[in-house]
Structure 1
Amino acid sequence: MDRILFFYYLNLVKNYRKIDLPATIITLSTSLSYSQILLELHAIIQIVNFHYIPTNRRRNMKKSMFVLLATLLIVGVIASACTPKPASTPTTAPETGYPAEGQEPEAGYPAEGQSASAEEPAAGYPAAGVIRVATDATFPPFEMVDETTKELIGFDIELMKAIAEKAGLQYEFVNLPFDPMLAGLADCQYDMSIAAITITEDRQKQFLFSDPYVDAGQIIVVKVGNDAIKSKADLTGKILAAQLGTTGEIEAQAIEGAEYKPYDSYDLAFLDLANNQIDAVIADYPTALGFINKNPDKLMTVGEVFTSEFYGIAICKNRTDLVDPINQALAAVKAEGIIEQLAAKYLAGE
């Protein structure tokens, strides 16, 4: 395109010997690079000198050249000013919490070559020596949330506090659903867990356990006034419920001819039972008593406890150092009668 423009103007000069030189220069400055302008104007100058400038004015050649060169200089300045500059590459901001190159690191992050201090743990992690105790506060009367204070209360909560005091342990509770709680403990995200956990052969492959502290077998719960179900033998053809991941679920799934409906929590299962959405709930006997004591006009147990199970404190496989202190403290708590006191407080009606 640049060459076409040039020869266009060249043709004008040759054919008409008349050209608006300033306009030509301006046009060229908008379509050619600076170096190209130099070359093209040089050719135009030669043409103008021999085809446009009369003979009697050729003696003024030097003056014309001076004017053209001055004009060229101006065009060069204009072209340079008008040429778009390449976009600058933006500087990427450092990630939050990490220093930019040459800056001092922010507080809370170790400088290069240093390790984080164990005395200043990151937010969300306990200080060194603090035991993380996982629980699922949807198992009254063993663990629940006080509706007024929003604090954890229940049989297991008070028992854990007594054990920790005897063992001289610092601890913090972590409240989460039962299944994720067990999975997290298996990965040792928590040091131990107390949540009405039945000691089973399968669980003993995943966790360490304390000595048992409660004998809790499975029991059947129905709605008050239900005369069709009197024992485990009457559950065939019925809709049964239990909480996911519990031994109650294992027993419900084992009943032939029954339809099993899992629930995320026993709260929801017993609510549906009271509303005639299901026929029966299978749960640990102490847990069943907790819900019945809160709803004596709606729920009742039938039959006898049909399994023999024991609750224990589950401990991370890597924390073998905790087993003996926990068992010694648990024995001391039992010897002082604290287990009986908690049973009288939370398991009234047993």
Structure 2
Amino acid sequence: MLVLGVQASPLKYNATASGSYYPYSTGVKENPGISHEFVIKVMAEAGIEIAHVSLPAKRTQQFMLNQQLDFEIVSPTWLTEEERNLQQFVFSDALLPVQELLVTLPDKVSKYASSNSIVGGTVGTVRGYYYHNDHEFIRADFATERELVLALSKKRIEVAIIGDLPALYWSQQLDIDIAFGAMHSKGQLHIRLRSKHKELLPKINDAIATLKSQGIVEQLEDKYLSPIIFKSMPHSD
């Protein structure tokens, strides 16, 4: 809320996700990740004061719904249609592309070539994360993306939904060979802001456009993507 042009209090937010959502959000203050660092720059460019609140992902959902946080970073493709259309939130312009895939071990990848392959089955997920269709499968919640990759290697689960870059990063860090099945979601990260702050949205969107025109996204990608060795990704079925 603004009072006579002065912000009354910082906007509270959480962007650390599981703390293992590399390269988007790392939980490390000095190098917080592409999306987290971009949002910090956006809000500084817009002249909006913010305060990060460290929370587990599940509590972030609760705090957003209970009006204890003012914004979060999310892809609408992670949300159900009902969640996307909730009147208490508005979305900024797009920040960064993001996609999730079905991730499994190489000897099982043919089984998960279709997104429908997980319907009715047990799927590894991150506790507190949004999944647009989690009514169609049984969630097996783990604390982080790192723990999901470890669970695959130990055969505690057969398939998981993980962002492509976090999955690649942790497979390389842990030296665990994984394979990518079908696309689960593909979209863009946005700032999801409480509607009571919607008067700030034009300033936020202007700041996003300004920073993109200055090449900030490419600079952040150069900074965070260098540890990841890339390999081919499947196309959506």
TM-score (norm. length: structure 1) = 0.53
| SS in structure 1 at match of 2:178 | strand
Query: Aligned-pair distance for 1:176?
Result: 0.6
Q: Which runs of 5+ in 2 are unaligned?
A: 1-6, 232-237
Specify the alignment match of 1:167 in structure 2.
46
Structural mapping, 1:121-270, within 5 Å: 128-137=8-17, 138=19, 139-146=21-28, 151=30, 153-194=32-73, 197-199=74-76, 200=79, 201=81, 202-205=83-86, 206-224=88-106, 226=108, 229=111, 231-232=113-114, 235=118, 239-247=122-130, 249-251=131-133, 253-254=135-136, 260-270=139-149
Measured in 2, the distance between the counterparts of 1:292 and 1:213 equals 26
Measured in 2, the distance between the counterparts of 1:221 and 1:227 equals 8
| SS in structure 2 at match of 1:307 | strand
Measured in 1, the distance between the counterparts of 2:143 and 2:84 equals 20
Query: Aligned-pair distance for 1:236?
Result: 6.9
Q: Are 2:161 and 2:184, in contact at CA under 8 Å, matched by a contact in 1?
A: no
Give the letter for the 2:26 counterpart.
M
Name the CA shift for 1:292/1:328 in 2 (closer, same or farther; >3 Å). farther
Specify the alignment match of 1:274 in structure 2.
153
Name the CA shift for 1:179/1:341 in 2 (closer, same or farther; >3 Å). same
Specify the alignment match of 2:235 in structure 1.
none
Deviating above 6 A after TM superposition, structure 1's stretches of 4 or more consecutive aligned residues are: none
Of 197, 209, 212 in structure 2, the residue corresponding to residue 331 of structure 1 is 209
Aligned pair count? 215
Of 170, 175, 178 in structure 2, the residue corresponding to residue 300 of structure 1 is 178
Specify the alignment match of 1:285 in structure 2.
164
Name the CA shift for 1:239/1:216 in 2 (closer, same or farther; >3 Å). same
Query: Aligned-pair distance for 1:129?
Result: 3.5
Name the CA shift for 1:288/1:322 in 2 (closer, same or farther; >3 Å). farther
Query: Aligned-pair distance for 1:169?
Result: 2.4
Larger relative contact order (CA 8 Å, sep ≥ 6): 2
Greater C-alpha Rg: 1
- The share of aligned pairs that are identical, in percent, is 22
Query: Aligned-pair distance for 1:269?
Result: 2.2
Query: Aligned-pair distance for 1:238?
Result: 5.8
Once the two structures are superposed, what CA deviation does each residue of 1:295-328 show, in whole Å capped at 9, x if it has no partner? 3x31433235343322111111211122111111
Name the CA shift for 1:320/1:172 in 2 (closer, same or farther; >3 Å). same
Specify the alignment match of 1:11 in structure 2.
none
Query: Aligned-pair distance for 1:237?
Result: 8.0
| SS in structure 2 at match of 1:216 | strand
Name the CA shift for 1:203/1:227 in 2 (closer, same or farther; >3 Å). closer
Structural mapping, 1:60-79, within 5 Å: none
Q: Which runs of 5+ in 1 are unaligned?
A: 1-126
Query: Aligned-pair distance for 1:227?
Result: 5.3
Measured in 2, the distance between the counterparts of 1:327 and 1:243 equals 30
Q: Note the aligned Cα RMSD (angstroms).
A: 3.0
**More helix by proportion, 1 or 2?**
1
Specify the alignment match of 2:224 in structure 1.
346
**More strand by proportion, 1 or 2?**
2
Once the two structures are superposed, what CA deviation does each residue of 1:173-220 show, in whole Å capped at 9, x if it has no partner? 1111112112212232122223xx121431341421111222323211
